[in-house]
Amino acid sequence: MAKVSVIGAGSWGIALATVLEKNGHDVTIWSILEDEINMLKEKHEHVTKLPGVKLSEKMGLTTSLEEAVKDRDLLVLAVPSVHTRSTAKSMKEFVSEGQLIVNVGKGIEESTLMILSDVIEEEIPQANVAILSGPSHAEEVGKGLPTTCVVGAHDKKTAEYIQNVFMNEEFRIYTSPDMLGIEVGGALKNVIALAAGMADGLGYGDNTKAALITRGIAEISRLAIAMGAKYQTLFGLTGIGDLIVTCASMHSRNRRAGILIGQGKTMQEAMNEVQMVVEGVYSAKAAMALAKKYQISMPIIEQVNKVLFEDKPAKEAVSELMLRDKKAEHEDLWEEAEK
């Protein structure tokens, strides 16, 4: 049995807490919001973010970071990406040398273009930082539906320890050393999901969505590999797998926000209606900045940025994508064929 604290009481944090408790671990959930902790104590469920998923009365609940962090075997950092740095900074004084933190948020810090594990390591240099990601809606994990994820860590021993802590017959965990690829894939798929949602909101069909998913993973892969990631990762759970589930499911807040934007709402109106953090909005600018830094063509992500931040009509953005200059799907295949 491990002593585990989940730092963050959003839908994903709650879902993972139920997995960990089912596995027999001593679990505590932390939130900065006293009203949220009081609701969890009274209702034993998050009635707004994950209704119907019941928490055990034995679950620890606290607003004290010191209580949540000190003397715990594993800390699961489950806050929105925009709060990763500030939360890590607040945790630092309570984290012991070598204490294990597994980040489960998805995003790239806009101001620095850093992946989240690097942000955490910068703020808490004494910690052993890992990540967990994959195609995993909280609504389904909370209900115990079969799900697979991947743990990324700097060393195999750490990855296998986290694998053992989380894995059960409903929640299968793989391991990988490619933390960069896992994080870039997990962050940028949210931007493509916004585009897929916009297409849905415009009334386009399955053909359009298939095109966005396929060309979307091509864009993400080009950038991630240029940054130093491994191509196998982008065609695994945290690349194409996460992209498919986020573009196709109504559980996806990014797709839902995209639908509303496609129907004519502004970015802010869409975010207000979804009533949850839409990570793709925060990752879109960072993705575009990285594309420029590494000189990578990312036309879908470029058009999403124009819709989000330049008030470009979504229909016009789709038309511009369709009317781009003619090109080969894989230019290198022609080069090989003509040798």
Query: Could you list the active site residues?
Result: 189
Q: Quote the strand ranges of the chain, DSSP E.
A: 3-7, 26-30, 60-62, 74-77, 100-103, 128-133, 147-152, 171-176
Neighbours of 170 (CB within 10 A): 14
**Angle between helical axes of 299-309 and 206-227 (0-180°, round to 10):** 110
> Rounded CA gap, 242 and 273, in Å?
24
For 103, residues 6+ apart whose C-beta sits below 8 A from its C-beta are: 77, 84, 116, 117, 120, 129, 130, 131, 132
**How distant is the alpha carbon of residue 226 from its chain centre?**
21
Half-sphere exposure of 124 (CA within 13 A, CB side): 30
- Asked if residues 94 and 199 have their Cβ atoms less than 8 Å apart, the reply is no
Amino acid (one-letter) located at 95? V
> Rounded CA gap, 117 and 192, in Å?
22
